A and B are shown apart, each in its own frame.
Chain A
Amino acid sequence: MSGNGSLEALRRSGRIVIVGASLAGLRAAETLRDEGFTGSLTLIGDEPHEPYDRPPLSKQVLLGKATADRTALPRRRELDAEWRLGVAATGLDMTARRVRLGDGDEVPYDRLLITTGVRARPWPHPLEAELDGVFVLRTRQDAIALNRRLTAAPHRVLVIGAGFTGSEIASACRELGLEVTVAERGPAPLVGALGGVVGQVAAELHRAHGVDLRCGVMVTGLEGDSAGRLRRAHLSDGTALDVDVAVVSLGATRNTEWLAGSGLGAGPRGIACDAGCRAFDVRGIVTDDVFVAGDVARSPHPLFNYQFLSLEHWGNAVSQAETAAHNMINASADRRPHLWIPAFWSSQFGVNIKSVGVPSLGEEILIAQGSLAEGRFTGVYGYQGRVIAAVTFDQTKWLEHYQRLIETAAPFPPPWTTVDRRAEGLRPVPADFPDPSLPTHGPTVTLSGYSPTDRRITFTPARA
């Protein structure tokens, strides 16, 4: 069969299955239709809801400014798809090209897209995790439950882990007027993602807003009463804390277990794929009919030494989904690489934080504009003499410029003058990332070596 003829048949009447009906899944489905795919389209999602948006869950929803059921993702177009919601995919037969479902059904495909994302890493002690008052925040259900508990005026909330999500939760608690303690095993909030220099600014933000921030400590145990309600938390510094709510924010685990034994190169680090979003199998050979996108994917990036990056970023999920969808129905010469420059935003304590590039690769940081002390600044990260990332606190509008510096491998430190350059911005200082062999809870960008099927590198979850 001629390649073009079969591609034409695929576009016209092929079967495309998407597993994971969230942001990446929806955007991919829309792109497929936009690009003229008229065959059958099936979306499989284990959550009972149509695709919804997660970033508001730790922001507006916790504050009660939006209800969780109002976070549905806007539809860009009609989809004409079959939705299999509330049922998980439980297995994949790559030879027969079938996806097995939890209800016993099997769905055949010509092209498969996997967008199963990640889930919140649970509290590692199962019995303690069961206590009434212990929460994680990943899904709409989580947000509804946590919001309900927060509005019932708890005595004190404990946030375990001060990454982006944990910090946003702490911020929401303070805005609601709740007492909140944040326990972070690293030296400052956000250090895993942004390093210690910026982490100090984050720490001041927490404290200025009345958070009881405790760094360099771990939560060693959660204790309940006879009715199974959370009452107390024990910390590694020997102290105990009376709390009735604990939110576990220790990063995420990739949803790949359902692929065990399928022969796909899927593991706890995600699913490795090439720059065109085609998944690798366990032999390190690229497949041609299985694609991946979003939080579950790990793909090589030429600007970052072809390292396999897995990114838990909204914008990345959208862009990668669009690329995957395009490539699924196009001939190899027309395929596009996923060359997204990592970009992330967060809002906490009234500050708008944005980053581009991969800050955690940075060795040094230069405060190119503004000032750390004023809490409004642009920090530029350098790696081996070039600009590798930038972060802004309330200075978003400059970020594009720094993105271009990353894209063009501009020298670090940037040699030229800028507006608002202060004395502290005259020379770079060490960016002060924690030793990567000592993981904090969840840097949002994780780098995981070169070989797609290499599982020797384990980035052990923080055992708090």
Chain B
Amino acid sequence: MTQGSLLRKITDYANRADPYPVYAELRKTPVLHDEAGPYIVSTYWEIHGLLHDPRISSDARNLNPQAAETLADEEDPALPPAFLRLDPPEHDRLRRLAMTPFGPPHTPRRIHAMRGELTRIIGELIDGFADRDRIDLVDHFSYPFPVTVICRLLGVPREDEPRFHHWAETLAAGLDPDPDEDAAERRRVTQRARSELGLYLAELIEERRRAPGDDMLSALAAGHGPEGQMTQAELLSTAALLLVAGHETTVNLITNGMLTLLRNPDVLTQLRTRPHLAVPLVEELLRFEPPVQLLPQRTPLADIDIAGVTIPKGASVWLVLASGNRDPQRFLEPDRFDPQRRDNQHLGFGSGIHSCFGAPLARLEAQLALTALARRLDNPRLLEDPPEYRRNAVLRGPRHLPLAFDGLREPGD
């Protein structure tokens, strides 16, 4: 098989439901490259090494012009790149500032303190299934749950969801490096969504400045951290990043999780009686079916020799996290779903300085959600396997997950 056709297979929608055979094929060439395309890295140790390699940049400005062409992002003075797309020291400063109201050391209990509220939201959503015997898990649960949470956390009105849902989806789609699409057209659409989301957030931040709440936007806007404050533009980019990332990833984690549990009914049964299993189970899900399949946005600042290949400075590099997670050189029986797996240092949240900012929240959301679903749905079953997937090859997950069940158990049962 030629390399170009392998690249195409990654993005080919036909492989979305089960991309793992393609990844297995990829791993035969740990660093794959053909003429104009990106360098695709698919083995665990190579990915891990690059994620910790200070010669690798996340900043699109370091791409050579040819590689930059395929990118959807555009320079936009109103909404400059968020810290996800920056290198240190800017990255470090912005991430620290964003961390101040979110986690340790300044706000160590924020996520923990949301436990009760998360449980309540989950309970209400599940109670809403009471008079049904089938649902679409995505529309009725996996999507509304994290969105409600991120709105609550950031201080974004839940009622505005229909507006920013559209922008978030467009921006997420912009991440998908589908070579078949018209890049210019997509760039235009993404660009518009970015500006509209920026305007929306600017207004909201203004309101939070006038009447601060206990939410993150208020805290970020006030900027009482030890390191001062973000500029208005930085604030907007950060808010947009958190809102979009809080949107499109946990949905897939929960949906992929439930799909996997329904394919492994013994594990589902265990989870019902042993809620502690949720912690290692979610780690295994992040390895086995990670919501972020690949990182298409890295470039070397210098020529880098790795696995017998020299990746030249400025080239576009894709790190296929989901493939690294199934690398038999790193994990025993990697294609087996084993919720009690030991030594599970997966790449589901990336690694290194860009490792997922929202990981503590995503973990908790998935743990609580899956445990509650396992406990309360009586005899749940899949109505479609495989289900219909979203187009996106980067943020991969089912578009719908129709389920049937015999009724609801009470929360305490």
The residues of B that contact A376 with a CB separation of less than 8 Å are 92
Q: Is the CB of A370 within 8 A of B53?
A: no
Contact among B52, B56, B88, B92 with A400 in the assembled complex (CB-CB below 8 Å): B52
A419/B57 contact (C-beta < 8 A), A397-B52, A400-B52 known: yes
Q: Give the CA-CA distance A458 to B348 in the complex, in Å.
A: 51
B73 at the interface (CB under 8 A from A): no
Q: How many Å from the CB of A33 to the closest CB on chain B?
A: 15
A420 with B105: CB separation less than 8 A:
no
A398→B105 contact, CB < 8 A: no
B56: A residues at CB distance < 8 A:
419
- Majority secondary structure, B binding face: loop
Query: Chain A 384-410 against B: per-residue CB contact (8 Å), 1 yes, 0 no?
Result: 000000000000011111001000000
A421 CB to nearest B CB, Å: 8
Set of chain B residues within 8 Å of A416, measured between Cβ atoms: 55, 301-303
The answer to whether the Cβ of B368 comes within 8 Å of any Cβ in the partner chain is no
Residue in B49, B55, B88, B105 whose Cβ sees the most chain A Cβ within 10 Å: B88
Query: Which parts of B47-88 form the interface with A (CB within 8 Å)?
Result: 48-49, 52-57, 87-88
Chain A residues near B49 (CB, 8 Å)? 400-401, 404
Question: How many residues from A make CB contacts under 8 Å with B?
Answer: 18
B89 at the binding interface (Cβ < 8 Å): yes
Q: Which residues of A contact B353 (CB under 8 A)?
A: 397-398
A420 with B88: CB separation less than 8 A? yes
* Interface pair B52/A418, CB less than 8 Å apart: no
B78-106 residues with Cβ-Cβ distance < 8 A to A are 87-89, 92, 105
Determine how close the nearest CB of chain A comes to the CB of B263; give it in whole angstroms: 31
CB atoms of A417 and B302 under 8 A apart: yes
Task: Please give, as numbers and ranges, the residues of chain A lying within 8 Å of B301 by CB-CB distance.
Answer: 416-419
Q: Is the CB of B352 within 8 A of A418?
A: no
Instruction: Say yes or no: A369 contacts B105, CB within 8 Å.
Output: no
Please tell me the size bucket of the interface on B. 10 to 19
B54 touches A418 (CB 8 A): yes
Which residues of chain A are within 8 angstroms of B48 by Cβ–Cβ distance?
Answer: 400
Residue among A350, A370, A417 making CB contact with B88, cutoff 8 Å: A370
Flag whether A158 is at the interface (Cβ < 8 A).
no
Contacts of B302 in A (CB 8 A): 416-417
- Structural contact, A398 and B92, CB atoms closer than 8 A: no
Name the interface residues of A365-394: CB closer than 8 Å to any CB of B. Answer: 368-370, 374, 376, 378
List of B residues within 8 angstroms of A420 by Cβ: 54, 87-89, 92
A421 (CB) vs chain B CBs: closest residue: B54
Which of B54, B57, B303, B352 contacts A369 (CB under 8 A)? B54
Q: How far is the CA of A315 from the CA of B154 in the complex (A)?
A: 39
Q: In the complex, which residue of chain A has the Cβ closest to the Cβ of B313?
A: A417
The closest CB in chain B to the CB of A394 belongs to B92
User: How far does the alpha carbon of A369 sit from the alpha carbon of B54 in the complex, in Å?
Assistant: 8
Q: Could you give, for residues 17-61 of chain A, a 1 whenever the CB lies within 8 Å of some chain B CB and a 0 otherwise?
A: 000000000000000000000000000000000000000000000
Per-residue CB proximity of B343-382 to A under 8 Å, as 1/0?
Answer: 0000000001101000000000000000000000000000
Nearest CB of chain B from residue A385's CB, rounded to whole Å: 19
Which single residue of chain A is at the shortest CB-CB distance from B53? A401
Give the complex CA separation of A404 and B301 in angstroms: 18
Pick the most buried of A350, A376, A401, A419: most chain B CB atoms within 10 A of its CB.
A419
CB-CB < 8 A to A350: which residues of B? 105
In whole angstroms, how far apart are the Cα atoms of A398 and B52 in the complex?
A: 5
Contact A419 B105 (CB under 8 A): no
Q: Which residue of B lies closest to A415 (CB)?
A: B302
A332 to B305 alpha-carbon distance, docked (Å): 36
The listed residue (B54, B303, B355) touching A419 by CB distance below 8 A is: B54
Asked if B88 contacts A401 (CB within 8 A), the reply is no
Which residues of chain B are near A417, meaning CB under 8 Å?
A: 55, 301-302
Residues of B with C-beta under 8 A to A404: 49
Q: A397-B352, A416-B301 are in contact. Are A369 and B53 (CB under 8 A)?
A: no
| C-alpha spacing A382/B105, complex, angstroms | 34
Instruction: Say yes or no: B52 contacts A370, CB within 8 Å.
Output: no
> A32 CA to B34 CA in the complex, in Å?
49
Contact B55 A418 (CB under 8 A): yes
Since A370-B88, A401-B52, A420-B89 are in contact, a sample of 12 more A-B pairs with Cβ atoms closer than 8 Å, ordered by chain A residue number, is: A368-B54, A397-B52, A397-B352, A398-B52, A398-B353, A400-B52, A404-B49, A416-B303, A417-B301, A417-B302, A419-B87, A420-B92
**4 closest residue pairs by CB, A with B:** A418-B54, A416-B302, A420-B88, A419-B87
**B binding-site residues for A, Cβ under 8 Å:** 48-49, 52-57, 87-89, 92, 105, 301-303, 352-353, 355
- Show 13 A/B contacts (Cβ-Cβ < 8 Å), sorted by A: A350-B105, A397-B355, A398-B52, A398-B353, A401-B52, A416-B55, A417-B302, A418-B54, A418-B55, A418-B301, A419-B55, A419-B56, A420-B87
